[in-house]
Chains A and B, each alone.
Chain A
Amino acid sequence: MILSDLVDAAVYEDGRQLGFVVDVRLALDGPVTGLMAAPRIVGLLVSARTSTSFMGYERTGTNAPAVIARYLAYRHRGTFLVLWEDVRTVGGGDAAGSADARVELRPGFRRWSAALEQHGTASQA
Chain B
Amino acid sequence: MSPRVRPRPRVPDELPELPPHLRPAGRVLDARLHLLDRQILDVEDVPVTTLDDLHVSYADGDDDVTSGDRPAFVDQVLTGPVLVTRVFGGRPPASRLVRIPWSDVVDVGVAVRLGVRGEGLDATWVQRWLRDRVIGRIPGGRHDPE
Contact = CB atoms under 8 A, between A and B. Distances in A.
Given A3-B56, A84-B72, A112-B21, A77 B102 contact: no
Contact of A34 (B20, B27, B105): B105
Interface residues of A, number: 74
Given A18-B9, A77-B15, A95-B90, A88 B68 contact: yes
B21 A97 contact: no
Contact of B30 (A2, A45, A49): A45
A59 B28 CA distance: 12
Contacts of B87: none
Most chain A C-beta atoms within 10 Å of own C-beta, residue among B68, B78, B90: B68
Interface string B80-103: 000001000111001001000111
Interface centre among A41, A88, A113 (most CB of B within 10 A): A41
Contact of A23 (B2, B17, B30, B103): B30
A28 B68 contact: no
28 contacts: A1-B57, A8-B3, A30-B74, A31-B73, A33-B102, A35-B105, A35-B106, A38-B73, A40-B73, A41-B73, A42-B21, A49-B8, A53-B32, A56-B30, A56-B33, A84-B72, A85-B68, A88-B67, A99-B6, A111-B18, A112-B18, A118-B20, A118-B23, A119-B21, A120-B28, A121-B29, A121-B30, A125-B29
Interface in A62-106: 74, 77-78, 80-81, 83-91, 95-97, 99
B144 interface: no
Contact of A39 (B32, B67, B73, B110): B73
Interface SS, B side: loop
B40 to A, nearest CB: 14
B18 to A, nearest CB: 4
B29 A26 contact: yes
Minimum-distance CB pairs A-B, first 10: A29-B26, A34-B103, A87-B68, A27-B24, A118-B20, A28-B26, A33-B103, A1-B65, A112-B21, A119-B28
